[in-house]
Amino acid sequence: MPATGVQSSYRPVTWFDDPGFQTELNTQPNNSKLWLVQRGRQPCDERPCYQCSRAWSPYSVGHRETAGFSADTVVLYFREPMLINRIAIQEVYQPGVLEVFLLQWPAVPLDGIGNTRTLDYNSVNRTFDTVYNGSALTPDATPCGGWLSVNVPYGRQGMAWDVRRDFNQRRLQPNLARRVVGGVGIRLRRWSNDPSTGKPAERAQRPVGRPVLRVPLGSEAELPGARAAIRFAYTGKVAADSVHEALEVRRQASYLGIELCAAACVGLVRNLIDTPAAGAAEPPFLQLFKCGALWPDPAEEPAFAAVLASARQKLATHFTDAPLVLNTPALLCQLSELPAEALEGLLESDDFGTDSEDSVLLLLAVWMAVNHGRTDASIRERLCRRVRLVQVGRAYLDSVLPALAAAHNTALAVEGSGRPPSPAAWFPITVQELAIITALANNSADRNAWKAEAAGVYDMDSPWYLTRPRRQCIPAEGREYTWRIARTSLAAALAGLQPGQAIYLDVDEVGGQLGVFAHGFVWRPALYISCSDPHVALLVLRAAAPPIYMHGPVKLPGPGRLMGLVRIEAQLTVFHWPAIAGFYETLHLQSVSPIRLHASSVGCNLTHIKQPGEGEAVASSLAAWGLYLVEGWVVGSLRVLPMSPPGSLAAGYTLHS
């Protein structure tokens, strides 16, 4: 589409529909910039290398600077914020484009917007905004009458993001605000007044001696990459030791037009991500996802698209499944550092496993608590849409999702009031749509009828309504986590226990953490100890809501705590010492039997506890646990098992359509 305004001799911009536009054009029609936005303009003669009075070039050196741009530059303006992926320039005579750059919107004062600044050449970021550089290495070789096609780099376009309806000119969508375009600048070589020469005047004035190549950069940080790109032109080797360095060199090589260097950098990135990380070093493919601003457009560079596809596969292989990440602090830390685009790719992958969709939603909540401030509403919605909500269990349908919907509805109510929305409103689901999802999850027999009813209102193609299950990650033998309670913790609990009282003594750690994450909740073995006659000692499993829902930036609203019935299939074991026949006691937990949230399961009676005699002190009470204590610890294991079909049905995991 053509631009709507252009520089003029009398003011920063003249719009094509200004009342005085035609008068200004008629005053000086020959070689006027106004022809570039004139509607209904007759085309120039199709003969090659033909001077056209309805085109423009910096023919005269006497023209003054206009609106902060030199006389060899023309700037075309837009009234509306534009996203641009390609710029086409017809060069009818003596081609010689030196530079094409973009100006952020609004580039000039606009009625109704309230801006007063006119952007000049100093506002151009040479790396981000310069989209074509006809340097000495890659001069403009467009034939007379031909078209120079300039592709805007993928990271500058903004085409990858959906444009939301709830933003407008005065309130730009945050992830697009830096990318919307208000003007396109074109800087040309100044040509000789003798058209027969076909050479720029500046060539005739070229000094004798060794030529000097000057490369404008956006900042000093780009200097190593630019030097490495130029060095490649002489050595054919990419001087880069990391993914970030290779991509920076590729960007500078692309800017300078050193195409072989750009291709070599992409090849180096592929080799780096295929190389295993040494020791505890960060895998190179994770570095790739942290360099999104340096990515070329995968649609324009098939080689990089293949690298990106390989990295996404490695991402799913590295993180494996949701419970593994939640129960491994190092992995959880790495995942929390992923950019939104990488997390989105992970969540939409069928290779990323889970025990239930509840754990996937919990994982997203943990990421959001760390990264909420670096996201906007559009990014959050894209991520949340990757959770397959019709596959969550009844406990999440009854407790977590209603709280998320309530937070979102509250945020909608305060929208426009000037108050920032609460981070707790990160999941964009309404109470009405949650009712549809709950109906679909609980009524598999009538699912098609419900979908047909809701199809005209809600997006049934969204992953929220996807019934294809993810890869189930819990093996038949289960996953085992060791738990233990310190002798000092047991002694302190027994010391404070009064006759007639009972306590729960949670384990000090299980699997290296305070609890095991499974099916979207936290599970902690505990000892139930009652100072009664006779004394009672039970091994139990307690269920709790994840801390992320109860504390911190994405804390769920509402009084008190989450309530509900949760389910798990597991074996809970405590060991005896010394290791004699039958040296352990095991509690089998069936998923058909629910556990109340923040309460405990039925208990396994610890039969090797000695009953204390009358008047015995704490030491002798602790001595009663002698068969369970070794080297100062009570030790056992929690083995999480895959849910049986009856248990899955009872938990609400009706996954298949």
Check whether residue 379 and residue 396 sit in a common domain: yes
Judge whether 56 lies within some domain.
Answer: yes
* Whole-structure pTM value: 0.68
Q: Look at residue 312 and tell me if it is in a domain.
A: yes
- Region 287-306 average pLDDT: 86
What backbone phi and psi angles, to 5 degrees, belong to 90?
Answer: -90, 125
CA distance 385 to 367: 15
Number of domain units in the chain? 4
Does some domain include residue 654?
no
Per-residue model confidence as pLDDT tens digits over 535-564: 788 999 999 989 898 887 778 766 456 777
Q: What percent of the chain has pLDDT over 90?
A: 32
Q: Determine, yes or no, domain membership for 648.
A: no
Task: Spell out the alpha helix ranges (H) of 274-395.
Answer: 284-289, 302-319, 322-326, 329-336, 340-347, 357-371, 377-384, 394-395
- 602-646 pLDDT, tens digit each: 788 888 887 666 555 444 578 888 888 888 899 999 999 999 888
Coil, strand or helix at 353 = strand
Residue 75 and residue 38 share a domain:
yes
**Which residues span the domain enclosing 248?**
217-319
Model confidence at 589, pLDDT cuts 50, 70, 90, reads confident
Would residue 458 count as lying in a domain?
yes
- Over the stretch 155-191, which tens digit does the pLDDT of each residue have? 787 776 777 666 677 777 776 778 889 999 998 876 5
- The band of 31, judged by pLDDT with boundaries at 50, 70 and 90, is confident
Tell me how far CA of residue 327 lies from CA of 323, 359, 361, in angstroms.
6, 11, 15
Do 195 and 68 share a structural domain? yes
Binning pLDDT at 50, 70 and 90, where does residue 270 land? very high
Query: 490 and 389 share a domain?
Result: no
Q: What number of residues does the chain have?
A: 657
Residue 120 sits in the same domain as residue 257: no
What value does the mean pLDDT take over residues 377-406? 91
The verdict on 341 and 401 lying in the same domain is: yes
Are 158 and 10 within one domain?
Answer: yes
> Which of 450, 474, 498 is where one domain is finished?
474
- Verify that 421 and 378 share a domain, yes or no: yes
Of the candidates 204, 238, 264, which is a domain's last residue? 204
Q: What type of residue is 242?
A: S
Q: Is the pLDDT of residue 198 over 70?
A: no
> How far apart, in whole angstroms, are the C-alpha atoms of residue 154 and residue 308?
14
In sequence order, the 6+-apart residues with CB closer than 8 A to the CB of 48 are 143, 144, 145
pLDDT tens string 218-250 = 678 888 998 999 999 889 999 999 999 999 999
The per-residue pLDDT for range 372-382, each reduced to its tens digit, is 888 888 899 99
Residue 384's pLDDT is what? 96
Nearest by Cα to 96 from 42, 146, 45: 146
Average pLDDT, the chain: 82
Q: Does 596 lie in the same domain as 534?
A: yes
Task: Tell whether 314 is covered by a domain.
Answer: yes
